[in-house]
Structure 1
Amino acid sequence: MQITGAVLEEVGRTSPFAESRPLAVGRLDLAAPEAGEVLVRIEAAGVCHSDLSVVDGNRARPVPMLLGHEAAGRVELLGPGVTDLRVGQRVVMTFLPRCGECAGCATAGRIPCGPGSASNSSGELLGGGRRLSRDGTPVHHHLGVSAFATHAVVDTRSVVVVDDDVPPAVAAVLGCAVLTGGGALLNAAPPEAGQDVMVIGLGGVGMAALLTAVALGTGAVVAVDAVAAKREQALELGAVQALSPDELAASGTTADVVVEAAGTVRAFEAAVAATAPGGRTVTVGLPHPDARASISPLALVAQAKTVIGSYLGSAVPSRDIPVLAQWWRDGRLPVEALVSARIGLDDVNHAMDELAAGRAVRQVIEL
């Protein structure tokens, strides 16, 4: 079938992206789902910093690639052998499929799936190969999803069913921003009663971590970001204090659990410094692979600090997304607050500029 999607033509075009237009919106061919796969009609797709990282070259991916990895949609066609899904169900897409059989999958989310990571790196689906092409030339999948399009063929291990009462934009954001930011506190470094939480970097993932910290209610929640509007929003969402990075450094404020969600060396170093003695730093940001940070090993030892790396919130999507959806349903997790703009597919290059400038929390493409 023919679909419309946003394909990254080449990596590293200069900003503003609205002018250089690295993403070309046009027609592609999408093959039918194979065994263990489904065809999904995309309803909403979030624009994440991980998408920008492919556009600007911080994350190496093969091109041409149909971008987008945070989305929700309706199942339209089942591939051979698929019996655990039904046509018409709303599903959340997740960007790291889990095979369920490798050593990583045996860690209950702590370590990523090996085959899933390998297929993501090669631009293929978990079952192998590509279902996208353009003028006879294969187009790579982005993290097993390729959601900046009207339709996607995905492995069933890349989707989780949610009930119809979860709106498409909320469902989409659950699959990456909330799973990553919230999962950091639910799975990687759960705060104990009385413990304060600090979140550094208030993009979609960081703001989701803040919402989760407020929902857990173990102690005070402190927010840190360079953008004043994001600090103001954090206070509205339940943070008791919102600081700029310079204010954090000058104040000496600390917390028992510090979530680093900015994906920069400076943010990581600040997070470790702001971790209270005996506390935990959980880092979920994705800086450039060549980035290197400087921290004091002595401080880690003498102050008994722990640094934890957490990919996709150390989550098992099939386990955690239903929990997060129920929290939304119960009013504990106002996920709608993360959606800073609703845009069309043709606006995707401008959306990358908004991300790069730090103005956006989560822009959602409605299809």
Structure 2
Amino acid sequence: MRVVLGADGPRLERTPPERPPGEHAVRVRVEVAGVCRSDLKEVVGDRHGPSQFGHELVGVVEESTLPELPPGHRVSLDPNVRVRRGTAFATRMWATGPADRLTAALPAVPHGVEARRLVFAEPLACAQHCLAAVSRHLGRELRGLRLGVLGAGTAGVLIAGLAATTDVEVVLANRSEDRASFLRGLGLLDLLGLRTGPLDSLPADTLDVVVIATSFVRPSVLRGALRAVAPGGLVQLYGGTAPGDRLDGLDCDLDAVRRRELVAAADWCGKPVRVGGGYGTVPGDFAAAVRVLAAQAPVLLPVERMITREVPLTDLPAVLREQLTGRHFGKTLVWPAGPARS
């Protein structure tokens, strides 16, 4: 059983998934999957690039042609490694391809750690990659920086939370107050030591780095980031872009910078700035994310607090349609056998 995207949107298919063609094959029993904002973009056709529908998972290998991925092996999924696969919004997912790609696409996660925690491995790896790209673009470690993160969704919270563990002064900004109120109610802001405020309240020319972690790099948000960053500072593009995206007055191909992980010198209203990009993950990002998620004391990131909804797979088509309207906060988990708690 799985949820797939058709011409009429998401639908439930009860037939077993077929093994895709490929040199090697691995079948994974899905323990739990997470709904990502990019899944919602795909439902409405707003996401550019190869499909990654249903990519946040924790699962156990049931069948495999590779000794590196034996039955019983617990895995996550790196959707940026090109293999043929089904969706993780399923009871079982096939993945096929060359041996090296399959082992990279299905990074190991430990037994003994709750699936509700490990399901954050992929989004946390993306947050880790974003901060690593910032460090690379600046040519220095992050410690001591003044960092702004624009966008208080799951991605923004993970980026800000990770940065705060490395002795970085972080402010988490959002266009509206409701997300900050939601996070405050969960106790996350105090636990992570994060300051928050509306986007338009950020003082001008004060931040060393501003990460745009909104769903899309909208012109209004980019202008806010460019206003807040200090002369010579870095604006890091994390949110979605489309081919040809530009901002009037900024000589920069935004999509190329983000997808190619470039850093470009530019001028904004007479102020020298740098615009950098980060895209996808590398295996080291997953290893770093899993180390954080497996930590027992201290627990660096209480990611489970962001889980606000848990649904059975059979309810997912309706849930996806519902989340296309209105504002929905937190992380939704999908349990193939129905919601479960350890």
Superposition TM-score tier, normalisation by shorter sequence: 0.7 to 0.9
Equivalent residue for 2:290, pick from 325, 333, 346: 325
Q: 5+ residue gaps in structure 2?
A: 97-101, 252-265, 337-342
Does residue 1:231 correspond to 2:180, yes or no?
yes
Over the matched positions of the two proteins, sequence identity in percent amounts to 25
What are the residue-to-residue correspondences of 1:1-367 with 2, within 5 Å? 4-10=1-7, 22-32=9-19, 34-59=22-47, 67-79=53-65, 82-97=66-81, 116=82, 125-126=83-84, 144-155=85-96, 156=102, 157-175=104-122, 177-189=123-135, 192-218=142-168, 220-232=169-181, 233=183, 235-248=189-202, 251-252=203-204, 254-262=206-214, 263-265=216-218, 266-289=220-243, 291-297=245-251, 299=267, 303-312=271-280, 315-317=281-283, 319-330=284-295, 331-348=299-316, 349-354=318-323, 357-367=326-336
Amino acid of the structure 1 residue aligned with 2:60: R
CA distance in 2, matches of 1:300, 1:247: 19
Asked if structure 1 preserves the Cα contact closer than 8 Å seen for 2:142 and 2:166, the reply is no
CA distance in 1, matches of 2:286, 2:48: 28
Q: Relative to structure 1, is the Cα distance of residues 303 and 165 closer, same or farther in structure 2, using a 3 angstrom cutoff?
A: farther
CA distance in 2, matches of 1:272, 1:285: 15
Shift of 1:268: 2.7
Residue 136 of structure 1 corresponds to none
CA distance in 2, matches of 1:352, 1:271: 32
Deviates more, 1:86-95 or 1:335-344: 335-344
CA distance in 1, matches of 2:67, 2:44: 40
CA distance in 2, matches of 1:30, 1:268: 42
Shift of 1:183: 1.8
TM-score normalised according to structure 1 size: 0.73
TM-score normalised according to structure 2 size: 0.78
CA distance in 2, matches of 1:171, 1:273: 37
Shift of 1:302: 5.6
CA distance in 2, matches of 1:196, 1:54: 34
Residue 254 of structure 2 corresponds to none
Asked if structure 2 preserves the Cα contact closer than 8 Å seen for 1:280 and 1:308, the reply is yes
Q: How many residues align?
A: 300
Moved over 6 A (4+): none
CA distance in 1, matches of 2:207, 2:176: 21
